[in-house]
């Protein structure tokens, strides 16, 4: 036997038995975003490397060590997308969309990062993200947060909202100087990673997960105390909206997020049921990015949520959250009955597309087909053999204890199904 080929570590198959939860998540999130006026868009899984290095920032975990990058046959450097915003911004600029007014969009799909695989952290994972272009007011920051809050409520997920403000680009630059001075004065207390970041991106030191740095970081000057007037006003307005919407939050002054492009509002939703992979959604404002990527200055804000982590949180309870599609198992015996069952299935599904019909294709005897019907998890069996055909009826058998077997006229079957399903 030849050697078996395996999938790449951290890149998982979605097995048919587990796919229901993903369809459910997809439709729940899509419907919610559509109902708030967000339109679906899709960008390629592969972009030029520069799309990401310029947008995300050279000195970030993603660009420094997590991207899958290679040269194609022309020598162009290409990258599997590690996140969704950079591509959407590239798309907005390339197609001049912000010129047409405020753009509210969402995307969904795989992202790729070369990380150490563990529970809740994979090398191919899936995100849904939403982005708004052309809106400066904190009302839109609040709307995006509110949409995610509604989603957690509908999925019965318990998550805590953390918010922070990174201020305007100008106030952030001043703060960066203050922070650099502080860490420089305490250089001997920094670890290797942070010493490096001190030169390249000192704000990221605040993000460090090293427990030894905890005290140093909590005593560090805080961005929130260095906001300029406009940034302060924006942050206060956001907090006001959140209070108005009854969305509890905590201000986490250490929240800077891993990507360089953020300014003003940043936020994360964290669940304490997932260990250190607890962040299920993160977002923020990136007012300078469109210009940095070659477009006209356009304020923007967005979020991205990790679907694997959300699926982990609801895997034990999602069956309570939605009802299965009604499932009929169609047994037929004999050539005429096979033909009739296929035709009838088509007619039924034409008027009842929300149900599932499994047409038995084994052509076994009644007993063996019935065994399969029971195993399939179907709600009802419909049985068609010569005897039934002669009388123009089919036998309709509940499989989950919902009554007794009945004989139903073929002509009346759709009406009967509409009454009970
Ligand atoms: P983390 O701090 O957990 O590494 P991050 O800040 O790198 O997260 P973002 O880039 O903000 O993550 O992506 C948004 C969301 O995507 C995260 O909150 C998380 O739910 C999910 N996510 C990020 N990386 C992974 C991964 N490798 N595997 C699974 N989900 C991920
Ligand atoms: Mg990460």
Give me the pLDDT at residue 59, please: 80
pTM of the model: 0.91
Asked if 366 contacts 316 with a C-beta cutoff of 8 angstroms, the reply is no
Residue whose CA lies nearest to ligand 1 atom number 29: 121
User: Would you place residue 204 in the very low, low, confident or very high pLDDT band (cuts 50, 70, 90)?
Assistant: confident
Which of 306, 309, 311, 312 to mutate to test ligand 1, by most ligand atoms within 8 A of the CB atom? 306
Residue whose CA lies nearest to ligand 1 atom number 2: 279
Counting ligands in written order, which one lies closest to the CA of residue 303? 1
Which of 148, 279, 313 to mutate to test ligand 1, by most ligand atoms within 8 A of the CB atom? 279
C-alpha 134 – ligand 1 centre gap (Å): 26
C-alpha 159 – ligand 1 centre gap (Å): 15
Q: Compute the distance between CA of residue 55 and CA of residue 312 in angstroms, rounded to an integer.
A: 30
- In angstroms, how far is the first alpha carbon of the chain from the final one? 49
User: Which domains are delineated in the chain?
Assistant: 16-168+228-319 (3.30.930.10), 324-420 (3.40.50.800)
Share of residues in the chain with pLDDT > 90 (%):
86
Whether the pLDDT of residue 251 is over 80: the answer is yes
Whether the pLDDT of residue 317 is over 80: the answer is yes
C-alpha 115 – ligand 2 centre gap (Å): 8
Return the number of other C-beta atoms located less than 10 Å from residue 133's C-beta.
Answer: 24
**How much is the average pLDDT of 51-69?**
92
The token pair at 1 is 């036997």
Whether the pLDDT of residue 393 is over 80: the answer is yes
Give me the pLDDT at residue 324, please: 83
Q: Compute the distance between CA of residue 105 and CA of residue 319 in angstroms, rounded to an integer.
A: 29
Asked if 266 contacts 164 with a C-beta cutoff of 8 angstroms, the reply is yes
Q: Compute the distance between CA of residue 137 and CA of residue 199 in angstroms, rounded to an integer.
A: 34
Which of 82, 282, 283, 307 to mutate to test ligand 1, by most ligand atoms within 8 A of the CB atom? 282
In ligand 1, which atom is closest to the CA atom of 303?
14
C-alpha 36 – ligand 1 centre gap (Å): 24
| Residues 349-361: tens digit of each pLDDT | 999 999 999 999 9
C-alpha 258 – ligand 2 centre gap (Å): 7
Which of 68, 203, 304, 310 to mutate to test ligand 1, by most ligand atoms within 8 A of the CB atom? 304
Q: Which residues line ligand 1 (CB under 6 A)?
A: 83, 113, 115, 120-122, 125, 127, 258, 277, 279-282, 304-306, 308-309
Q: What's the mean pLDDT when you consider all of the chain?
A: 95
Return the ∠ at Cα 225 (arms to 180 and 160), rounded to 5°: 100
Whether the pLDDT of residue 61 is over 90: the answer is no
Asked if 45 contacts 242 with a C-beta cutoff of 8 angstroms, the reply is no
Residue whose CA lies nearest to ligand 1 atom number 6: 258
What does the DSSP assignment read for 288-314?
THHHHTTS----EEEEEEEHHHHHHHH
In ligand 1, which atom is closest to the CA atom of 115?
27
C-alpha 394 – ligand 1 centre gap (Å): 53
In ligand 1, which atom is closest to the CA atom of 280?
20
User: Would you place residue 321 in the very low, low, confident or very high pLDDT band (cuts 50, 70, 90)?
Assistant: confident
Q: Compute the distance between CA of residue 237 and CA of residue 235 in angstroms, rounded to an integer.
A: 5
C-alpha 365 – ligand 1 centre gap (Å): 52
Residue whose CA lies nearest to ligand 1 atom number 7: 258
H or E, element range at 104: strand 103-112
| Residues 128-185: tens digit of each pLDDT | 999 999 999 999 999 999 999 999 999 999 999 999 999 998 888 889 999 999 999 9
Bigger pLDDT: 210 or 285? Answer: 285
Residue whose CA lies nearest to ligand 1 atom number 21: 306
Give me the pLDDT at residue 178, please: 94
Counting ligands in written order, which one lies closest to the CA of residue 124? 1
C-alpha 381 – ligand 2 centre gap (Å): 49
| Residues 257-316: tens digit of each pLDDT | 877 789 999 999 999 999 889 999 999 999 999 999 999 999 999 999 999 999 999 998
Give me the pLDDT at residue 316, please: 86
Counting ligands in written order, which one lies closest to the CA of residue 121? 1
In ligand 1, which atom is closest to the CA atom of 121?
28
| Residues 356-387: tens digit of each pLDDT | 999 999 889 999 999 999 999 999 999 999 99
Q: What are phi and psi of 15, to 5 degrees?
A: -80, 150
Distances (CA, A) of 40 to 179, 182, 303, 386, 393: 40, 45, 14, 50, 46
């Amino acid at each position: 036997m030849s050697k078996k080929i395996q999938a790449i570590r951290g890149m998982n198959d979605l097995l048919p038995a587990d796919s229901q939860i993903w369809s459910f998540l997809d439709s729940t999130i899509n419907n919610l975003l559509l109902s708030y006026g967000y339109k679906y868009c899709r960008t390629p899984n592969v972009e030029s490397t520069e799309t990401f290095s310029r947008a995300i920032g050279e000195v970030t975990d993603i660009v420094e060590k997590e991207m899958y990058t290679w040269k194609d046959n022309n020598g162009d450097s290409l990258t599997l997308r590690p996140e969704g915003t950079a591509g959407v911004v590239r798309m907005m600029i390339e197609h001049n969309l912000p010129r047409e007014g405020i753009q509210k969009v969402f995307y969904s799909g795989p992202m790729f990062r070369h990380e150490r695989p563990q529970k809740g952290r994979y090398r191919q994972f899936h995100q849904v993200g939403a982005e708004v272009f052309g809106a400066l007011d904190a009302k839109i920051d609040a709307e995006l947060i509110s949409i995610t809050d509604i989603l957690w409520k509908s999925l019965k997920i318990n998550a805590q909202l953390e918010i922070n403000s990174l201020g305007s680009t100008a106030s952030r630059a001043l703060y960066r100087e203050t922070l650099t001075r502080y860490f420089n004065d305490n250089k001997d207390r920094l670890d290797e990673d942070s010493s490096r970041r001190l030169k390249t991106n000192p704000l990221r030191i605040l993000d460090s997960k090293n427990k030894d740095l905890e005290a140093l970081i909590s005593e560090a000057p805080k961005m929130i105390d260095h906001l300029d007037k406009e940034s302060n006003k924006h942050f206060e307005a956001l907090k006001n909206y959140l209070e108005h919407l009854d969305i509890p939050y905590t201000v986490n002054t250490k929240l800077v997020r891993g990507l360089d492009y953020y300014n003003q509002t940043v936020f994360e939703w964290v669940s304490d049921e997932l260990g250190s992979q607890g962040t299920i959604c993160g977002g923020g404002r990136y007012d300078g990015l469109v210009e940095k990527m070659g477009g006209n200055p356009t304020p923007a804000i967005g979020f991205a949520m990790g679907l694997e982590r959300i699926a982990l949180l609801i895997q034990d309870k999602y069956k309570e959250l939605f009802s299965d599609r009604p499932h009929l198992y169609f047994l037929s015996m004999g050539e005429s009955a096979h033909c009739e069952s296929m035709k009838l299935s088509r007619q039924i599904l034409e008027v009842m597309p929300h149900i599932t019909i499994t047409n038995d294709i084994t052509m076994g005897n009644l007993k063996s087909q019935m065994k399969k019907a029971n195993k399939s998890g179907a709600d009802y069996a419909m049985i068609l053999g010569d005897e039934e055909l002669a009388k123009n009826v089919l036998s309709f058998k509940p499989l989950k204890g919902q009554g007794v077997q009945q004989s139903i006229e073929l002509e009346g079957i759709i009406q009967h199904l509409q009454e009970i399903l």
